Structure 1
Amino acid sequence: MPALIDLGASITIQDARQNYLLVTNLPDVWAVERLMAPSDVSLFGSEIAGKLSLLKQEMTQSGRKAHLEVTVGSDQVYEFRVQAVEFQQGGIHLVTTIIDRSEERHRERLLRALLREVSHRSKNLLAIIQSIALQTARYSGSLDLFLHKFRGRLYSLSQSQDLITDSSWRGAYFFELVQQQTEKYLPENTHLVHVSGDNVLLTPNASLHLGLALHELIVNAVSHGSVLRSGRVIEVTCTRVPVNGHDSLEMLWDEVLDADKSSDGGEDALKAHFGSTVLERVVPASVNGKAQYTISNGRISYRLVFPLEIGSD
């Protein structure tokens, strides 16, 4: 009994006629002045007393056990554990242990909420992956090409998801998204992509899709552009702008092409692949924004504007 009390448990003992012999360490919510003849009603109120009465009616043989959980107020939860014990003198007695389960139940509710959130986010992520797979297949002429493109896009998605998870699902900062993609495809030339402007904390959804857009742009720059051959720096800017009275974000990508890529139909060839679909349709639609993807006058320009959700830093 002292050990239980040290652990914060409350103990009551009743005889076979349910007369209280001992009441100790009751929680503050039921703390009452000393009573000459305490009862379940006087200690716990009529509602809980009624539930305890039904429970204790079954406690007629030694060793019988039962428990009851009650909620007091909005967030206090207590468990009543009742056990029939035969004493050497006086026969069957009812020993009740009252344990505060409030913190434990709070953690359980929080865990259930987190699991629901994980399920929701997982479904969203799977929907994005399905869309990427379908669009990649549509613009791939062979299985090898599909696998090559799909693996790259899937890796980009997973990297962005890592940033989101590291932030406890708050999202990812724009500069980190650019750095992540640059280090993947230009590990020894990260200086060739210069990012400036507002380092905005993006929502999880915006983080995933902007990460995908940056992936397409950097892969295109490495595969078709002049970034490695000429050493020209790609300028990426992120700026908060007011649009129709709403706080919005504008992302700009400015890349200079090689001369041979900006002539003889090279510009059209650059846009004739799934990357342009991601940049012009998939990404803006997913963030409720608008995009312009142009290749002209020896430059690749991409402009994406979309509303920032409340809570973005």
Structure 2
Amino acid sequence: MTDADFDFQRIFQLTTAPHAVLDADFRILLVNDAYCAGVGVGRETLIGAHLLELFPGDEERQALVSKAFLTALSGQVASLKELHYAISDPTVPAAPKQDMWWTLDCIPMQPHPTHGPVFLVRVENVTEEVQARGKRDLFASELQHRIGNVLTLVQIIARKTAQSSDDLTAFRATYESRIRALGKTHAFLSGTNWDGMTVRQVLEQQIQSELIDRVDAIGISGPDWRMSVLHAQTFAMAVHELISNAMEHGALATATGKVEITWDRPQDGSHNFVWKESGVSGLVAPDETGFGMQMLTKLLPGQLGGKAVCAFTPTGFHYMLVVPEDVIVPVGQ
């Protein structure tokens, strides 16, 4: 071994980036410690192995790698960005293969006196960058989807509120109240609750924002169920309508009125949500159906794929929503 060979191998091994030297048959002649650690394979297995046989892939990917290798052997630098390979975690014995992405730089070298044409392969693990970009793209897509949902709800609220308002003053008061209810839920979902809200969280948020003086008049009972973002937004609007109606015409408009809110799962696998008012005297059904009733009986059950039943009893308003099993799931599932 000449001094030049000794210096090259010493520098080669000290390089922190994974490197390998291959011959014209794509067999590994030399690897540094970083390469062994990166791919999770020992030097004794790597030396002499055909790289494409050692790390096989689909035909398209193998063709791309082969073309890059041949380009380096012809004297030109070739690079491949973000190649996907499933490789076991070298730090965990017997670990299952994980999705990993690699960037390859294939660099020509002077022919070796024994092995003939050779080239250098520099490898970089870019898995974290690829996964981070994927999360950003998913976040942006989800954000755009949510904004679209909110704007759709805003349009529906504006149109339906205008249809049931006698004048601009009435429209403004009702519309602003509904938008505030939607805004509170949207703000909650934009924080640490990005994946949704529980039924209890929706109820407590709307009750606390609307019923500062009558919180004790409402009883809440039910298991810890989570709703998706879209369902939680619409459900919050329905709860707002229930509260507003109770404050104006129902149980919460009287000093002795009560509201019992329960949700459970009957044996048929569906999920039931029940709003039951009491303490009212002589309640009758309204002559016209406003936005609140449309939200409760059409918009909410329509979006959740369920059905709703309501009754104006003499002692209070009753409402039951029945939704399929997959609409609401236990927390942690």
TM-score, normalised by the number of residues in structure 1: 0.74
Matches for 1:1-313 after TM superposition, within 5 Å: 9-12=17-20, 23-25=31-33, 26=35, 27-28=38-39, 33=44, 47=63, 48-55=65-72, 57=74, 59=76, 66-69=78-81, 70-73=83-86, 75-82=99-106, 96-166=121-191, 168-225=193-250, 227=252, 229-242=254-267, 245-257=268-280, 259=281, 262=282, 267-268=285-286, 272-309=289-326, 312-313=329-330
Residue 267 (structure 1) shift: 4.5
In structure 1, stretches of 5+ residues that fail to align are: 60-64, 87-92
Residue 94 (structure 1) shift: 6.6
Residue 126 (structure 1) shift: 2.9
Residue 20 (structure 1) shift: 8.9
Letter paired with 1:67: S
1:33–1:211 CA distance, 2 compared to 1 (3 A): same
Paired residue secondary structure (2:286): helix
Paired residue secondary structure (2:305): coil
Report the Cα distance in structure 2 between the residues aligned to 1:177 and 1:38, rounded to whole angstroms: 60
1:169–1:255 CA distance, 2 compared to 1 (3 A): farther
Paired residue secondary structure (2:173): helix
1:42–1:182 CA distance, 2 compared to 1 (3 A): closer
Kindly indicate whether the alpha-carbon contact (under 8 Å) linking 2:272 and 2:320 is maintained by their aligned counterparts in 1. Answer: no
Q: What's the % identity of the aligned pairs?
A: 20
1:6–1:165 CA distance, 2 compared to 1 (3 A): farther
Report the Cα distance in structure 2 between the residues aligned to 1:232 and 1:3, rounded to whole angstroms: 83
Paired residue secondary structure (1:33): helix
1:89 paired residue number: none
1:287–1:150 CA distance, 2 compared to 1 (3 A): same
Residue 21 (structure 1) shift: 8.6
In structure 2, stretches of 5+ residues that fail to align are: 1-7, 57-61, 87-97, 111-117
What is the RMSD of the two structures over their aligned residues, measured on CA atoms? 3.9
Report the Cα distance in structure 1 between the residues aligned to 2:43 and 2:173, rounded to whole angstroms: 73
